[in-house]
Structure 1
């Protein structure tokens, strides 16, 4: 019954969103009017004359472009218990979000925001999975949801509200939405049956894999693709321990279930026949992965998918942040999602333009296919003209609405005036891969300035197979040419001699996986350990390029 109701809800929300597409401008006006009326009496609303605003033009004249730093004084007051600051209703929870400085933001999450902005897009996001892979929902143990991580005693703000990740919130209990429990959150491993430290995320991952090898998995949900990429590595790393515990009937050294020597023997035979144990060996009926498919993941996902099974489909997770949604895939498109026109009032700025309080913005109907844009959104949850720090690329238009894919963070690298963006570097890496026929597990880069020399970009790459010196040289040249084609400023400073030729450091195939594992081992939640392209911090660079094998 619950599965039936869940399917009906997700299909209904998708249909409501599709029905909104013919009147994008009208829905954008209604979203703006609602947030203005609802929050007019707040301190922010009074200060910016919400009661006098009648149009988006009025709104952009009254409210500057804002980021988290600009709003954080208001948010901290709310988190301390002050009411009616940014929103008329009190936040029920604060989402964590790792900012560019590494600090944890506090994103206020109000009941009105969840009802009008979050839940409609959230449910619609599951429609392709529910429609095309119905067997995935048939059993609680058919889904391994890697991001699900409930906490018994969540950290709180000064006023006592939980300050946790979105994947740690029970939306049913907090907001009266019992159907909002994601696929996989009813699995036996959703709430671990043995004691484990709250911040020991590697042990939690081990315990879930140990339990899942005795189930017939059909789906893996990761959202963050780095978490999905870690699964094959972790299976191989922990395999002897997993097999022993299956044979003994233990879980993390604790009594758990009846010993299963037959499954243990089967797993051992699989490992003996394979050069490296893969998820496809353990779960031969696995059918679908749900995660982000763009950014650096676009370089490794095609081959990673094969680790899980030749016929496995990768469905793209929504283009969204803890602060709010942007795009949601309503079909099986591999990377892009339709703008959620009913969720927020959206504005966009060309990605090569510097954001400022008075920057000129574009409306959804003004976006051009093949262009990159900063995203700003305003919604009833108290974020107004908010620059989330993400860049999106317009893939196409569907039913008159732009379909967007995540292109990268808005962070720029600018040693000599080249103003390189993440999306430009990722596309250049992809072009170099195509032109040389070589393949990567992952890549990262930093500006290197040898003493007395011109700065240059140093790239660290993890090839899928060994590259010869000649191949390495061709790839480096192709990457340099692709960067020049993608970024005119890069081409100019290279021609002017202000930036030297890039260099390439070949790492072993598992280098980025070990680095990810090491970071999670320090207590950082896996959802927050994402692929990182720019690594200017010398310590992070050294850790990646000199990391030794771990035995955990």
Structure 2
């Protein structure tokens, strides 16, 4: 991917015919999870022939199992597309994230049924992300919502937290505002009183049956609390694995986490996940993938990227007919090693989920940080209501889970090269405040999360700028 940088620079300067004959209609900003964010060109043709059809395929799968999301004009809350115009440009061409596009580029580009609805139109006058979330909450409060969709499950948590923090405001506006609904205000006040004054989405919209979001890799950390937020019987189906480059895997059935290869979106090659990519690396194609194996993808896209090593890894978790079902596992290179332990992000995620189930905790809000001094060990900055002895037991369980998952970590612990993992308690709400601050600084909502495996412990300081962190 780094070899593409000079060519991307030329496109951004307005040079013609660099990646493709067609000039870019816009640039998609990448997440920058493994380096500096890049601006990738997107053409009108690609939006019409690959990106648009991929989105229709995804929503077709949602509709196959949940036709109620089109029961009315207000049955679905769409949190995945923010139509605010962007102020960033390259060569006079807009630079936007996947979740922030002003409008469609072609009649065959994805256009949801609610595209022209008042609540979905661009609202440049509402600059703050939290205010835009509240505006949706206020609009939909009086409607019978059946579905909520967001690429990133973090946005679902932010949506719920925004509702909780604005409980009194919402009820007062429903009671005395221009479009007052006193019976609804009374019902929500009773529900809030039963929950210490903080509403959940399920209180406002008790008929939600479907939530769509990413479900694998780090997204899995945010799933356990969704039934509490949106309803115990809510059905959560996975989003496509897609990025600024293209779609890679699209769900076509009820599989919990996986989709099949998006063959119309790119020419897809695969390399074993553990191998370093070189220009002459031998690759395999979709029909050659093996059950249980993990691969990284190499993309050649309609927008001109050629053999682009994106750094995404997938595991083949099954087959649908002859088509391999691909579960996104994470990014190449998400590894931490202070004394040779080679701790990976999937190991951190699996350890967090295991301990969360054991202790009945919501461990979505945590980050594992290497701390080399005074003695190398890992610190889990964790947002939980547990304290003191319980926190120590959680730390011990996390350390044991890491030893079980990683033999070199276990050996380093046994040799005394690594000390036991510890937990630093983060006050509830700190992660949400950090996410909102990130959006205000220009980060896209798709990119919102705190990486479970950090490069250092700077995140502890960043969280402490808004909320105190207390060592346990």
Same fold per TM (> 0.5)?
yes
Map of 2:422 onto structure 1: 503
Contact residue 352 and residue 363 of structure 2 kept, 8 A: no
Describe the shift of the 1:353–1:177 C-alpha distance in structure 2 as closer, same or farther (beyond 3 A): same
Greater mean alpha carbon deviation, residues 276-285 or residues 104-113 = 104-113
1:540 equivalent in alignment to 2:459: yes
Gap change, CA 1:472 and 1:362, over 3 Å in 2 = farther
Deviation at 1:262, TM superposition (A): 3.9
Structure-2 residue corresponding to 1:118: 51
2:121 maps to what in 1?
Answer: 191
2:350 corresponds, among 427, 431, 435, to: 427
Q: Which residue of 1 aligns with 2:68?
A: 135
Contact between 1:106 and 1:163, CA under 8 Å: does it hold in 2? Answer: yes
Q: Does 1:176 align with 2:104?
A: no
Do the aligned residues in 2 keep the contact of 1:319 with 1:326 (CA within 8 Å)?
yes
Structure number with the bigger relative contact order (C-alpha 8 A, sep ≥ 6) is 1
Q: Cα RMSD over matched residues? A: 2.6
Report the Cα distance in structure 1 between the residues aligned to 2:455 and 2:182, rounded to whole angstroms. Answer: 49
Q: CA deviation at 1:108?
A: 0.9
CA drift of 1:328 comes to: 0.7
**Selected match of 2:313 from 368, 391, 394:** 391
Local SS of the residue matching 2:90: coil
Distance 1:225 1:446, change over 3 A: same
The match for 1:244 is 172
- C-alpha deviations, 1:321-366, integer Å up to 9, x for none? 1111111110122111111233322222333333344444333344
Structure 2: which 5+ residue stretches go unaligned? none
Q: Does 1:270 align with 2:179?
A: no
Residue equivalent to 1:164: 96
Contact 1:143/1:187, CA 8 A, preserved across alignment: no
User: How many angstroms apart in 2 are the aligned matches of 1:112 and 1:495?
Assistant: 58
Partner of 1:466: 386
The 1:512/1:369 distance shift into structure 2, 3 A limit, reads: farther
- The whole-number CA distance in structure 1 between the counterparts of 2:10 and 2:49 is 24
Q: Which residue, out of 249, 261, 275, partners 1:353?
A: 275
2:32 maps to which of 99, 117, 121: 99
Query: Aligned-pair distance for 1:170?
Result: 5.3
**In terms of mean alpha carbon deviation, does 221-230 or 518-527 score higher?**
518-527
Map 1:112-511 → 2, pairs under 5 A: 112-152=45-85, 154-158=87-91, 160-169=92-101, 172=104, 174-177=105-108, 180-182=110-112, 184-191=114-121, 195-197=125-127, 200-249=128-177, 257-275=178-196, 276-410=198-332, 411-435=334-358, 438-451=361-374, 453=375, 455-463=376-384, 466=386, 469=389, 471-511=390-430
Say which SS state the counterpart of residue 124 (structure 1) adopts: helix
Q: CA deviation at 1:104?
A: 3.4
Q: Structure 1 pair 497/385, CA: closer, same or farther in 2 (3 Å)? A: farther
> Does the residue aligned with 1:342 lie in a helix, a strand or coil?
coil
**Cα deviation, residue 194, structure 1:** 8.4
Residue 47 of structure 1 corresponds to none
Question: SS of the residue aligned with 2:409?
Answer: helix
Structure 2 Cα separation of the partners of residues 296 and 162 of structure 1:
30
After TM superposition, give the deviation of residue 449 of structure 1 in Å.
Answer: 1.5
Q: Distance in 2 between matches of 1:124 and 1:360?
A: 31
SS of the residue 2:89 aligns to: coil
SS in 2 for 1:181: coil
8 Å contact kept, 1:170–1:181: no
Between stretches 137-146 and 261-270, larger displacement belongs to 261-270
Distance 1:114 1:376, change over 3 A: same
Q: Are 1:145 and 1:185, in contact at CA under 8 Å, matched by a contact in 2? A: no
Provide the C-alpha distance between the structure 2 equivalents of 1:192 and 1:119, rounded to a whole number of angstroms: 20
- Aligned equivalents of 1:476, 1:109: Cα separation in 2: 46
Superposed displacement of residue 242, structure 1: 2.0
Counterpart in the other structure of 2:6: 73
Q: Sort the Cα spacing of 1:193 and 1:79 in 2 relative to 1 into closer, same or farther, 3 A.
A: closer
- Partner of 2:277: helix, strand, or coil? coil
Instruction: Kindly provide the CA deviation profile for residues 509-543 of structure 1, in whole angstroms up to 9, marking residues without a partner as x.
Output: 44433332333344433333224212335442222
For each residue in 1:31-77, what CA deviation from the matched residue of structure 2 results, as whole angstroms up to 9, or x when unmatched? Answer: xxxxxxxxxxxxxxxxxxxxxxxxxxxxxxxxxxxx1x321221121
**TM-score w.r.t. structure 2 length?**
0.90
Q: Among residues 515, 520, 544, which one is paired with 2:434 in the alignment?
A: 515
Q: What is the CA-CA distance between 1:110 and the residue it aligns to? A: 1.7
Q: Which moved more, 1:113-122 or 1:223-232?
A: 113-122
**Could you say what secondary structure the match of 1:72 adopts?**
helix
Q: TM-score, with normalisation over the residues of structure 1?
A: 0.77
| Structure 2 counterpart of 1:3 | none
**Which stretch has the larger CA shift, 473-482 or 306-315?**
473-482
What do the CA deviations read for 1:237-283 (whole angstroms, capped 9, x no partner)? 1122222333343xxxxxxx434444333322321233442111100
Say which one has the larger Rg: 1
Using the alignment, how far apart are the partners of 1:146 and 1:392 within structure 2? 26
Q: Match of 1:440, SS? A: coil
Measure, in 2, the Cα distance between the counterparts of 1:194 and 1:124. 30
